[in-house]
């Protein structure tokens, strides 16, 4: 039986074309990096998010998220990993129209902020090197339902 709170994330399930844009670390400025994201149920209470970026002149990269929930603490959680061997945990909120993931770790603070529509997610990743006092945008991330 599907977890009732996790069922609220059901609109994310599917295939998405994904685009990184406005990344401070990708040259030349204005470069976009295409990708594909698959979001699917993993059992009744988790979502698996798998993204591949690259192709053409862009370096190939892969990342994955497992979205879940701690029922006793009444909170969503996201576990992240990528092909660099990076592994991170994010606190997550989702209300159907707005999706956030945040982490406050000793190495840096990070956050993903997105507006969610039926067939599009407009998001951005930001980072802070000073414990959240100031933020810089890392990149915009757009999902379009495939």
DSSP string, 76-136: EEEEEEETTS-EEEEEEEE-SSEEEEEEE-SS-EEEEEEEE-SSEEEEEEEEESSTTSS-E
Q: Containing domain of residue 66, as a range?
A: 6-145
With respect to residue 1, please indicate whether it lies within any of the assigned structural domains.
Answer: no
Q: Which tokens is 132 given?
A: 């959240």
With respect to residue 53, please indicate whether it lies within any of the assigned structural domains.
Answer: yes
For residue 131, what pLDDT is reported?
A: 94
Q: In this predicted model, what pLDDT tens digit does every residue of 92-118 receive, in sequence order?
A: 999 999 999 999 999 999 999 999 999
Q: Between 58 and 132, whose confidence is greater?
A: 132
With respect to residue 122, please indicate whether it lies within any of the assigned structural domains.
Answer: yes
Q: Kindly report the average pLDDT of the chain as a whole number.
A: 95
With respect to residue 17, please indicate whether it lies within any of the assigned structural domains.
Answer: yes
For residue 54, what pLDDT is reported?
A: 85
With respect to residue 87, please indicate whether it lies within any of the assigned structural domains.
Answer: yes
Q: In this predicted model, what pLDDT tens digit does every residue of 58-103 receive, in sequence order?
A: 678 999 999 999 999 999 999 999 999 999 999 999 999 999 999 9
pLDDT at 57 over 70: no
Share of the chain above pLDDT 70, in %: 97
CA distance 87 to 81: 4
With respect to residue 56, please indicate whether it lies within any of the assigned structural domains.
Answer: yes
**What's this model's pTM, rounded to 2 decimal places?**
0.93
Mean pLDDT over 36-41 rounds to 98
Closest by CA position to 98, among listed 116, 125, 121? 116
Phi/psi zone of residue 83: left (φ > 0), alpha (ψ -120 to 50 degrees), beta?
Answer: alpha
CATH of the domain at 32: 2.40.128.20
pLDDT at 128 over 70: yes
- Matching residue, tokens 């945040």: 102
With respect to residue 46, please indicate whether it lies within any of the assigned structural domains.
Answer: yes
Mean pLDDT over 42-66 rounds to 89
CA distance 20 to 66: 20
Total domains in the chain come to 1
For residue 56, what pLDDT is reported?
A: 64
For residue 39, the surrounding DSSP H or E stretch is strand 33-42
pLDDT at 55 over 90: no
CA distance 104 to 106: 7
Mean pLDDT over 14-24 rounds to 96
Helix, strand, coil distribution of the chain in percent, nearest 5: 5, 60, 35
With respect to residue 68, please indicate whether it lies within any of the assigned structural domains.
Answer: yes
For residue 75, the surrounding DSSP H or E stretch is strand 75-82
């Amino acid at each position: 039986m599907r977890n009732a709170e996790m069922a609220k994330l059901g609109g994310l399930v599917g295939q998405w074309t994904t685009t990184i844009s406005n990344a401070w670390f990708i040259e030349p400025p204005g470069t976009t990096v295409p990708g594909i994201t698959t979001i699917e149920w993993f059992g009744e209470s988790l979502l698996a998010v798998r993204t591949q970026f690259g192709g053409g002149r862009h370096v190939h990269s892969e990342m994955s998220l497992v979205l879940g929930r701690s029922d006793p603490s009444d909170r969503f959680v996201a576990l992240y990993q990528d092909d660099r061997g990076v592994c991170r945990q994010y606190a997550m909120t989702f209300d159907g129209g707005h999706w956030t993931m945040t982490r406050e770790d000793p190495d840096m603070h990070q956050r993903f902020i997105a507006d969610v529509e039926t067939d599009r997610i407009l998001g951005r990743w930001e980072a802070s090197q000073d414990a959240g006092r100031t933020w810089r945008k890392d990149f915009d991330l757009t999902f379009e339902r495939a």
